[in-house]
């Protein structure tokens, strides 16, 4: 399949109060965990809603895992 590995079939996102400061894709993904950091310093001192959302292609599903989440 032409372009396989370079087309994003899955797109996980981190949302803060409905906005998306970080979006990722599975294009050129490797196996295993990859550490990602999202800066939340603009939210310091206030309560926010933190969401993890994702979309995937109907033909090529992808599994995204969120593990060891630290806020501080």
What pLDDT, in 10s, does the model give residues 1-35?
344 555 667 788 889 998 888 888 777 666 777 78
The rounded Cα 43 to chain-centroid distance in angstroms is: 19
Report the C-alpha gap between 16 and 48 in whole angstroms: 7
Pick the residue with more confidence: 25 or 50?
Answer: 50
Sign, Cα dihedral of 26, 27, 33, 36: negative
Q: What percent of the chain has pLDDT over 70?
A: 82
pLDDT band at 47 (very low <50, low <70, confident <90, very high): very high
For the whole model, what pTM was predicted?
0.65
């Amino acid at each position: 399949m032409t372009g396989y590995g370079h087309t994003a079939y899955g797109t996980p996102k981190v949302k803060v109060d409905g906005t998306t400061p970080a979006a990722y894709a599975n294009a050129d993904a490797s196996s295993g965990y990859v550490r990602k950091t999202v800066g939340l310093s603009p939210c310091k001192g206030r309560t926010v809603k933190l969401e993890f959302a994702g979309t995937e292609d109907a033909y090529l599903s992808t599994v995204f895992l969120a593990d060891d989440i630290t806020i501080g």
